[in-house]
């Protein structure tokens, strides 16, 4: 075993029999040095534990998460999810025509739907913008497969689904509208994520967020998964947007529309 207090002698350790144990193992300076080394080890162990705790969502750490909550959940089986997302009863509370009217979709609009899933809104958006283009972006390969097959089966040539990454939706060209329904709360590091989305917008482009109202509702996720509209507004304000429209006339969801506050820059 190496003696941590023994000075190196050109890489050669003296034979054990030549060592002077009393000089090495006794004296007040040794005690002080040992205490110092122990304190350093303890200190660095504490720092690495804090870093580990801060980088996980587990409890116990006092470091506040700057952007909670993000609901991480997989939506891997599109056929199964379609039973819920495409349930005709959804129309009663989702009121898709009202949402499209609120958004005033131009016939030639280019639109990106982040979290497009099985296409509930992308299909309707593509019909509202027959001379435009709708991109459905989702991180689940099975959702992308499902929506592309649906677009083909329903003859929607202006609808294409693309596989997104969690921190980059991969919008293939600048669009007039970025739209999210019930997906905003699934996105992580939202301020950075949406700040970067400004580069995906054309001049005058908008960002629309439809998400669940807080509280215990007969449809949608549990209350702890929901974000109050004020929270969305404050995050997107920080990300460089201004609220231009707020509507809460749907029974279970709010509709918020934003535009970037900066002047449009072709270099971005």
For ligand SAM, the binding residues (CB under 6 A) are: 75, 85, 114-115, 117, 120-121, 137-140, 143, 164, 166, 169, 181-183, 186-187
Would you say 94 or 259 has its CB closer to ligand SAM? 94
Would you say 61 or 96 has its CB closer to ligand SAM? 96
Which tokens in the block code for residue 62? 């006092």
Q: Is 171 exposed, middle or buried (0-12, 13-18, 19+ CB in 10 A)?
A: buried
Q: How far apart are CB 266 and ligand SAM at their closest, in Å?
A: 26
What is the C-alpha to C-alpha distance for residues 176 and 107, in angstroms, rounded to an integer?
11
Would you say 117 or 134 has its CB closer to ligand SAM? 117
Q: How far apart are CB 86 and ligand SAM at their closest, in Å?
A: 8
Distance of CA 45 to the CA centre of its chain: 31
Would you say 34 or 166 has its CB closer to ligand SAM? 166
What is the C-alpha to C-alpha distance for residues 133 and 146, in angstroms, rounded to an integer?
18
Query: 163 by DSSP, 3-state: which?
Result: strand
What is the C-alpha to C-alpha distance for residues 24 and 27, in angstroms, rounded to an integer?
8
Rounded to a whole number of angstroms, the CA Rg of the chain reads 28
- Whole-angstrom CA distances from 35 to 25, 30, 47, 105 are 14, 8, 18, 71
Q: How far apart are CB 49 and ligand SAM at their closest, in Å?
A: 30
Q: How far apart are CB 245 and ligand SAM at their closest, in Å?
A: 19
Task: With beta carbons less than 8 A apart as the criterion, state whether 120 and 85 touch.
Answer: yes
Q: How far apart are CB 116 and ligand SAM at their closest, in Å?
A: 6
Task: With beta carbons less than 8 A apart as the criterion, state whether 210 and 249 touch.
Answer: no
**Sign (positive/negative) of CA torsion 254, 138, 207, 186?**
positive
Q: Beta 110-114 vs 159-163: how paired, if at all?
A: unpaired
Q: How far apart are CB 88 and ligand SAM at their closest, in Å?
A: 13
Q: How far apart are CB 114 and ligand SAM at their closest, in Å?
A: 5
Would you say 210 or 233 has its CB closer to ligand SAM? 210
Residue nearest to ligand SAM (CB): 115
């Amino acid at each position: 075993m190496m003696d941590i207090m023994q000075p190196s002698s050109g890489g050669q350790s003296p034979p054990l029999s030549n060592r002077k144990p009393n000089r090495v193992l006794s004296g007040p300076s040794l005690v002080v040095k040992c205490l110092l080394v122990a304190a350093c080890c303890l200190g660095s162990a504490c720092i690495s534990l804090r870093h580990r705790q801060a980088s996980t969502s587990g409890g116990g750490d006092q470091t506040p998460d700057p952007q909670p909550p993000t609901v991480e959940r997989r939506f891997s089986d599109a056929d199964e999810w379609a039973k819920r997302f495409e349930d005709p009863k959804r129309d009663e509370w989702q009121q898709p025509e009202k949402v499209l009217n609120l958004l005033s979709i131009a016939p030639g609009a280019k639109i990106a739907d982040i979290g497009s899933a099985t296409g509930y809104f992308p299909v309707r958006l593509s019909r509202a913008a027959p001379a435009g283009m709708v991109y459905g972006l989702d991180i689940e390969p099975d959702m992308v497969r499902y929506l592309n097959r649906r677009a083909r089966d329903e003859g929607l040539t202006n609808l294409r689904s693309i596989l997104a990454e969690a921190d980059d939706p991969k919008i293939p060209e600048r669009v007039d509208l970025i739209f999210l329904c019930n997906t905003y709360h699934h996105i992580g590091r939202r301020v950075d994520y949406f700040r970067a989305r400004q580069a995906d917008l054309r001049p005058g482009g908008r960002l629309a967020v439809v998400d669940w109202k807080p509280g215990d509702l007969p449809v949608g996720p549990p209350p702890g998964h929901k974000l109050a509209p004020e929270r969305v507004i404050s995050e997107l304000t920080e990300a460089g947007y201004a609220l231009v429209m707020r509507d809460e006339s749907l029974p279970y969801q709010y509709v918020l529309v934003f535009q970037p506050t900066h002047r449009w820059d072709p270099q971005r």
